[in-house]
Structure 1
Amino acid sequence: MNKLVLASNNAGKLAELAQLLSPLNIHLQPQSAYAVPDCPEPHATFVENALAKARHASRISGLPALADDSGICAVALGGAPGVYSARFGGEEPKSDAANNAKLNAKLANQADLSVYYVCVLVLLRHADDPQPLIAEGVWHGQWQAEAAGSNGFGYDPHFYLPEHGQTAAELAAAVKNRHSHRAQALDLLLAKLAHNPLFSAA
């Protein structure tokens, strides 16, 4: 389990997860290193999409796979954009700027600006693993209309954290990697991994 394929080509996710995993001597590689094409994400839940992506990447690469499905949810919009976060502003091309602009417009006249990030991680030993490890992290914040910061990606410049007085894109990487939805999910996943004999024997 010291080499994993990440079922994503998202450079931000790769950098964040690789940094979180580096103390454990786990080498994470993007699926592009194994010519794995993007997997369709037709499902209505984060966990179903993450599982589909992990199986797809593991089957083609022949390696254990880690998949992340994540997004931002606005309380005033009933949890939207949720699983559609990456393509909220349109498919061709997908764009952080378009996604942020659309969500900003949707929340412009809302009284409740509560938002939260969700991350579901799925770890598979092999493509047909019947017992994947699954972990979820949730990070609560407030939508800020004016973008601030350049350290993050996705919706981070608008994701304001009252306890820090900054957006996620203004946080130092070390701080973000302690508190983010992805960090929370990974902490839980690693705890499950440490107590799972199937994975320790893989």
Structure 2
Amino acid sequence: MSGEGKEPQAIRKLAPGKLVIASHNPGKVREIAALLEGHGLDVVSAASLDLPEPEETGTTFVMNAELKARAAADLSGLPALADDSGLCVDALDGDPGIFSARWGGPDKDFGMAMRLIEDHLGRIEAETGTAPARSAHFVCALALAWPDGHVEWFEGRVDGTLVSPVRGDKGHGYDPMFVPDGHDRSFGEMNDALKNEISHRADAFRQMVAAVF
């Protein structure tokens, strides 16, 4: 939760009603809406409300999620949920990390972003003569903000391995190059039901659901 340095406070509960998903990414909105089914929420996206996308100036996933949630709550007058997530590659010192979307350029071309990761890994191998480890993890930070400024946040993670060539055309973002530990299919090959059981976003949502509903 936000408010470091303050006395711990009880987590605020989220009442049934309208909730803004502070994202303009249709795949992410669809995934979040599915994870929220059954909780009495009328989910609308920031894009459908013509809310602008704030500049992500935070230095952590949590900070970026919080600034997006606060902006959507302030502008809509409704509770807002934001997700900031990304892929962290161990051999690249955690990159692309909070810059995961920006590695795809202004058009958010994740095909290009995945090729860029492979280029970086190939450069390391060429320079060292050793193939770098392909371990990686996804992080998802959720921030739930109310118009009065109150914010709760939760963070999930899933570890796995990068594959090349990429596999599958499901999911979004870096999903086709990431195989979660304990599985032999990439997120890009999994149906939504399976991915929503094991993903970093599912981990964060389990924490949020247990806390606010």
Per the TM superposition, whether the score is higher than 0.5 is yes
Aligned residue for 2:189, secondary structure, equals coil
Partner Cα separation in structure 1 for residue 165 and residue 40 of structure 2? 39
Q: Tell me which amino acid in the other structure corresponds to 2:107.
A: P
Partner Cα separation in structure 2 for residue 163 and residue 18 of structure 1? 26
What's the counterpart of residue 53 of structure 1? 68
Offset at residue 162 of structure 1 (A): 4.5
Alignment of 1:16 with 2:37, yes or no, is: no
On the 8 A contact 2:81/2:144 being kept in 1, the answer is: yes
Offset at residue 185 of structure 1 (A): 0.3
Partner Cα separation in structure 1 for residue 136 and residue 194 of structure 2? 19
Alignment of 1:117 with 2:138, yes or no, is: yes
Give the number of the structure whose alpha-carbon radius of gyration is greater: 2
Q: Tell me which amino acid in the other structure corresponds to 1:71.
A: G
Which consecutive residues of structure 2, in runs of 5 or more, have no partner in the other structure?
Answer: 1-14, 126-130
| Correspondence 1:1-202 to 2 at 5 A | 1=15, 2-90=17-105, 92-108=106-122, 109=125, 110-126=131-147, 128-129=149-150, 132-194=151-213
Offset at residue 25 of structure 1 (A): 2.4
User: Normalising by the residue count of structure 1, what TM-score does the alignment of the two structures yield?
Assistant: 0.90
Partner Cα separation in structure 2 for residue 18 and residue 8 of structure 1? 12
Q: Relative contact order, CA 8 A, sep 6+: which one is greater? A: 2
Aligned residue for 2:99, secondary structure, equals helix
1:125-184: CA deviation from partner (whole Å, max 9, x where unpaired): 22522xx11110001110111111111110000001352211011112111011000011
On the 8 A contact 1:54/1:127 being kept in 2, the answer is: no
Distance 1:127 1:49, change over 3 A: farther
Q: Tell me which amino acid in the other structure corresponds to 1:140.
A: D
Identity of aligned residues (%): 38
Root-mean-square deviation (CA, aligned residues, Å) is: 1.3
Offset at residue 124 of structure 1 (A): 1.3
